[in-house]
C-alpha cells in the first residue's frame, strides 16, 4: 500500500504469529532490490484498548511508535477486511488515534501538539526547528527545495540524524519551504529508511505546525510531498489532524525469498 507515495508492506497479523523479532525477515521483505520493497512494514493486530493495533517497523527492522501515512494505510486495510466502517480507533506506540474514512481520503485525529524548539544550532552550518509529532523531526527551512539534490539531502540528513545531539534514538530530518499561498513543500530523510522517502506523514505534521507557529501559514495547511501527492494538516481543538489518500497497490504471498 502507499499513502501519498510513502509505501508499505501491510500484513494481517490478527493471529499475532508474525515473528516481530526476526529483523532479517523484515529487512528482506522491505529490500527494494531483492524483496518486495517498501519504506516500512506494518502489522495489523488486535487491540485491548482500540478497534485495531498498528505496529510499524522501519526497513532496517527497528520498531517505531508512529507513522502518519502508515496509519492511514492501516485504516484502509482494516476497512477492506470488514473490521471497520466509517470510524475506528487505532492503538499505536504513540497512543490511541482516531481515523475517519471519507471516500478516497482518510482523516486522522492524532495527539495534542507538542512544544517546538526554534533555531537550534546543532552544527555551525545547520539551524533547525525541532518538534515531536509521534516521532522526532528536525526541520531546516530553505528558499528553494529544487536546489537540494538527492545525494546532498542524504548526506545532510545522515549527518543530522546521527548527530550526538539527538542520541541515542536519532531524528528524522526535513527540508521545507513555504510558498506565497502558505503551502508547504517538503522533503524528508527518514531514520530507519536511511534515505529520502517520497512522502512523510509525521514530517508533514511537523512542517505544517512549525509554519503556523512561525506565522508563515495558517491551518489548514496544504503540504506538497516529493511524490507530487498532497497532504492536508489541520488543528482540531489543539489536536493534530492529517488528511490524505491510502491506496492498495498489490496483494500477494511472501515465500521468504525461496527460489523454486
Catalytic residue ranges: 67, 200
- Contact predicate 141/176, CB 8 Å: yes
Q: Which three cell numbers stand for residue 215?
A: 506565522
CA dist 204 and 238 (Å) reads: 17
3-state secondary structure of 208: helix
What phi and psi, each to the nearest 5 degrees, are found at residue 241?
Answer: -130, 130
Distance CA 56, CA 97 (A): 14
Residue 48 CB-density burial (10 A; 0-12 exposed, 13-18 middle, 19+ buried): exposed
Q: What is the DSSP string of 74-114?
A: HHHHHHHTTS-SSEEEEEETTEEEEEEEETTEEEEEEEEPP
Distance CA 22, CA 8 (A): 17
Amino acid at each position: 500500500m502507499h499513502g501519498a507515495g510513502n509505501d508499505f508492506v501491510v500484513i494481517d497479523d490478527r493471529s499475532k504469529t508474525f515473528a516481530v523479532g526476526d529483523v532479517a525477515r523484515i529487512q528482506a521483505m522491505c529490500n527494494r532490490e531483492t524483496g518486495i520493497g517498501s519504506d516500512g512494514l506494518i502489522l495489523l493486530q488486535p487491540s485491548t484498548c482500540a478497534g485495531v493495533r498498528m505496529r510499524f517497523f522501519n526497513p532496517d527492522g527497528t520498531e517505531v511508535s508512529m507513522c502518519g501515512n502508515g496509519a492511514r494505510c492501516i485504516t484502509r486495510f482494516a476497512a477492506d477486511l470488514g473490521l471497520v466502517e466509517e470510524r475506528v480507533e487505532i492503538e499505536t506506540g504513540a497512543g490511541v488515534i482516531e481515523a475517519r474514512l471519507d471516500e478516497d481520503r482518510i482523516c486522522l485525529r492524532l495527539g495534542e501538539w507538542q512544544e517546538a524548539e526554534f533555531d537550534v544550532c546543532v552544527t555551525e552550518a545547520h539551524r533547525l526547528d525541532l518538534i515531536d509529532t509521534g516521532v522526532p523531526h528536525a526541520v531546516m527551512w530553505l528558499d528553494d527545495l529544487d536546489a537540494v539534490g538527492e545525494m546532498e539531502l542524504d548526506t545532510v540528513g545522515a549527518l543530522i540524524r546521527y548527530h550526538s545531539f539527538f542520541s541515542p534514538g536519532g531524528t528524522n530530518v526535513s527540508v521545507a519551504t513555504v510558498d506565497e499561498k502558505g503551502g508547504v513543500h517538503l522533503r524528508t530523510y527518514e531514520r530507519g529508511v536511511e534515505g529520502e522517502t517520497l512522502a512523510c506523514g509525521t514530517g508533514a505534521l511537523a512542517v505544517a505546525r512549525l509554519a503556523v507557529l512561525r506565522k508563515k501559514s495558517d491551518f489548514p495547511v496544504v503540504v506538497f510531498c516529493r511524490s507530487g501527492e498532497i497532504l492536508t494538516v489541520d488543528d482540531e481543538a489543539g489536536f493534530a489532524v492529517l488528511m490524505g489518500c491510502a491506496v492498495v497497490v498489490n496483494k500477494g504471498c511472501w515465500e521468504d525469498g525461496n527460489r523454486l
